[in-house]
Amino acid sequence: MPLVTLTDVVQPALHQGYAVAGLVTLGWEDMQAFVAAAEAEQSPVILQAGPGCREHTPLPILGKMFCHLAEQASVPVVAHLDHGYSFDECREAMTCGFTSVMYDGSRKPLQQNIDETAAIAELAHDAGISCEGEIGFVGYADGEQSSGTDPAEAARFAQETQVDAMAISVGNVHLQHSAGGRLDETRIAQIEAVTSVPLVIHGGSGVPVDQRASLAANTAICKYNIGTELRRVFGQALRASVAKDQQRFDRNSLLKETHDPMMQAARLVLRHLKQGASEV
């Protein structure tokens, strides 16, 4: 089926009590595995091209790759620009077939973040594309510290930008290699009380699986970004593939053996989020 927008998948999630996975892609092999996982689980999936992915592969190529996979898929697929840092980058993604862009102005002063995100959201909406913004800075494991989302600022941000989804900082951290602390459910409830926009958790790999499912079922959190835990599976599978036969050198042969482990790991992520309402 054709690519769909972020709104197309997060609005049903919001109203039906589940969340959709934004799976961070780095190349063709994981993109294929993620779509295969979504089909196996009969779940929508958001394929995300973050800064690392874009350093490796140009946006026009990524757009064609996402579009091709979506057209062959039996489930809804979103082509999403993750952490766009400029107006021009977001605009380029829109012209390359992406159906959703995330503008990250979270390091900037509130008014500047609002103004810049609103301009990108307006451009996206005029083109029939979704826009995600971020209020409150989500830090990095062993790196920049987080700055939690202020509920009053979140209400103003959602109202003035008209974003389709809002990423928040509530104890989540990017690049978490193991299970981190639990999210601040009190702060989440305070944000929910002042806005109706679907909420997004970046750094979802660090959130305990039981809390992911519970929040998906019972709150406005409709999207979790998952990257690190799946990249670890890819790395483990690739090392095993190389070690199995030291004489093999063909990259296609080596990379082929990452597909099944990546697909199975992605299936578990999708299953917990989609079935949250029935499992919690």
Yes or no: say if 223 and 172 are a contact pair by the CB < 8 Å rule. no
* Residue pLDDT, tens place only, 193-245: 999 999 999 988 888 899 999 999 999 999 999 999 999 999 999 999 999 98
Pairing relationship of beta strands 45-49 and 165-168 according to DSSP bridges: unpaired
Higher pLDDT, 186 or 176: 186
Residue 231 placed within a domain: yes
Tallying the residues shown for the chain, one arrives at: 280
CATH number for the domain harbouring residue 270: 3.20.20.70
Domain that holds residue 172: 6-279
Domain count of the fold of the chain: 1
Catalytic residue among 8, 30, 82, 104: 82
Calpha distance 74→93 (Å, rounded): 24
Residue 208 belongs to a domain: yes
**% residues pLDDT > 70 (the chain):** 94
Contacts of 4 (CB under 8 A, 6+ apart): 44, 70, 76, 77, 78, 99
What average pLDDT does the chain have? 93
User: What SS3 class is residue 162?
Assistant: coil
Q: Nearest-CA neighbor of 182 among 203, 204, 211, 205?
A: 211
| Whether residue 260 lies in the annotated active site | no
Whether residue 1 lies inside any domain: the answer is no
| Furthest C-alpha separation in the chain | 60
